[in-house]
């Protein structure tokens, strides 16, 4: 897997708050690597592969000694919830005054480290700090699953071994480097480690020794976590000096069918249609921009810029990523958003009924899961256009009735 694909798994903060994960939307695949069967035999195969990659045999033995299947990991993997909060609900819960205050304090405390992160990797402090807060509450909630056993469990399990066997091999390499203790290192149930919740392959690829102790320790070293996150975010395509999200006011008459991600328009195109930045800054009019309305045209509205894509790489949930991007703007000095007066949405049963109806009309909405995801929003916009309604992709009881 690429680092970007792996990072979509890194959602401990979301799990702690909502009980869901980007993994919830991952479909089972035919295993392309060895899995299942007798655990000792499986571990011998892992050891042989590690040795073939250059790990000394005694190092692989040390990393795998005492490895066991963790049934709690399997239970968590099978019982993942689904993300059904609105943007308003989730953002108000996560972007709290306490977190903003702590975030500001952390940016002062580690000012030199953040300055290095921006100088070397082009990523400003608020972007890193928002992820730090949302993933683990600045390191306070990192997970208590044994990392080695979690990865052994998920690599042995035949649901997604192609994702987790490489992570197990990377964990063995970390043991060899002295950056992971197989007996005591803990993290999230899916194998993520540290204050910014990264998987072993990404730690190896993007790890930075921020405190100069010769190791990358994302659990205990905030400096390591900050710089490693910055290097990883840079790898996702973050452009230094460019915005990521901007709150805007919108007129009633817009081509609402053009809202949503990847509109093919620039910020200047939106400004010409009457979209107005709340902060008055129109300096980025030449950048590609999408207008997103998480709860329809009567709720809060944002322009998202190319840097917003790194949020979608970090986590696949639109509500999580929009909240994280908004959080970063608040840490950078933006005021609270103006929530507007969004129309009431649908509950779980009604949303599933809507998706079923859309599917019957020939739309691909993916799984009937009660989530207003991108497929459902796109289908809604098409049906809203047919009905002569503003095509903002927001699901309402009135729209369900019309369909």
What are the DSSP calls for 190-237, one per residue?
TS-BTTTTB-HHHHHHH---SSSSSS--TTT-HHHHHHHHHHHHHHTT
Average pLDDT over every residue of 134-142? 97
Residue 24, pLDDT > 90, answer: no
CB within 8 A of 85, min separation 6: which ones?
18, 93, 319
Residue 29, pLDDT > 70, answer: no
301-333 pLDDT per residue, tens: 999 999 999 999 998 888 999 999 999 999 999
Residue 339 pLDDT grade (very low, low, confident, very high; cuts 50, 70, 90): confident
Closest-CA residue to 210 (of 198, 201, 222, 193): 222
Residue 276 is given by DSSP the state E
Q: Which residue has the higher pLDDT, 360 or 81?
A: 360
Q: What is the pLDDT of residue 397?
A: 92
Q: Indicate if the alpha-carbon torsion angle 68, 71, 77, 78 is positive or negative.
A: positive
Q: Could you give phi then psi for residue 94, rounded to 5 degrees?
A: -95, -35
Coil, helix or strand at residue 67: coil
Q: What is the pLDDT of residue 33?
A: 79
Residue 40 pLDDT grade (very low, low, confident, very high; cuts 50, 70, 90): very high
Lowest mean per-residue pLDDT among 149-158, 265-274, 364-373 = 364-373
Residue 27 pLDDT grade (very low, low, confident, very high; cuts 50, 70, 90): very low
* Whether this model's pTM surpasses 0.85: yes
Residue 19, pLDDT > 80, answer: no
Contact 175, 59 (CB under 8 A): yes
CB within 8 A of 147, min separation 6: which ones?
171, 180, 185, 186, 187, 191, 193
Report d(CA 213, CA 174) in Å as an integer.
Answer: 15
Tokens describing residue 1 = 């897997």
Give strand pairing partners of 299: 340
Q: What is the pLDDT of residue 99?
A: 97
């Amino acid at each position: 897997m690429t680092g970007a694909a792996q990072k979509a798994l890194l959602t401990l903060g979301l799990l702690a708050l909502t009980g869901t994960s980007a993994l919830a939307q991952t479909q089972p695949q035919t295993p392309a690597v060895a899995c299942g069967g007798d655990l000792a035999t499986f571990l011998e195969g892992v050891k042989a592969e590690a040795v073939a990659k250059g790990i000394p045999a005694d190092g692989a033995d040390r990393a795998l000694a005492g490895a066991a299947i963790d049934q709690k990991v399997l239970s968590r993997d099978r019982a993942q919830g689904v993300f059904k909060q609105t943007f308003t609900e989730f953002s108000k819960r996560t972007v709290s005054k306490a977190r903003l205050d702590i975030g500001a304090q952390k940016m002062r405390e580690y000012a030199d480290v953040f300055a290095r992160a921006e100088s070397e990797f082009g990523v400003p402090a608020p972007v890193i700090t928002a992820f730090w807060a949302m993933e683990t509450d600045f390191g306070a909630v990192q997970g208590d699953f044994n990392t080695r056993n979690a990865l052994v469990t998920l690599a042995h399990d035949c649901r997604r071994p192609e994702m987790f066997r490489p992570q197990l091999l990377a964990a063995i390499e970390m043991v060899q480097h002295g950056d992971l203790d197989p007996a005591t290192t803990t993290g999230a149930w899916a194998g993520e480690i540290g204050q910014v919740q990264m998987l072993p392959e990404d730690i190896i690829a993007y790890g930075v020794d921020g405190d100069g102790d010769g190791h990358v320790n994302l659990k205990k070293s905030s400096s390591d976590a900050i710089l490693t996150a910055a290097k990883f975010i840079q790898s996702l395509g973050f452009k230094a000096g460019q915005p990521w999200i901007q709150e805007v006011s919108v007129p009633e008459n817009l081509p609402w069918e053009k809202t949503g991600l990847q509109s093919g328009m620039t910020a200047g195109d939106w400004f010409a249609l009457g979209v107005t930045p709340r902060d008055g800054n129109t300096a980025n009019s030449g950048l590609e921009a999408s207008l997103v309305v998480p709860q329809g045209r009567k709720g809060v509205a944002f322009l998202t810029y190319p840097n917003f894509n790194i949020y979608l790489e970090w986590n696949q949930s639109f509500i999580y990523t929009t909240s994280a991007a908004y959080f970063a703007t608040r840490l950078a000095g933006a005021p609270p958003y103006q929530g507007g007066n969004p129309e009431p949405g649908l509950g779980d049963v009604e949303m599933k009924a809507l998706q079923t109806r859309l599917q019957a009309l020939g739309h691909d909405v993916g799984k009937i899961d009660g989530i207003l995801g991108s497929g459902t929003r796109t289908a809604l916009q098409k049906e809203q256009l047919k009905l002569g309604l503003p095509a903002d992709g927001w699901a309402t009881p009135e729209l369900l009735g019309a369909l």
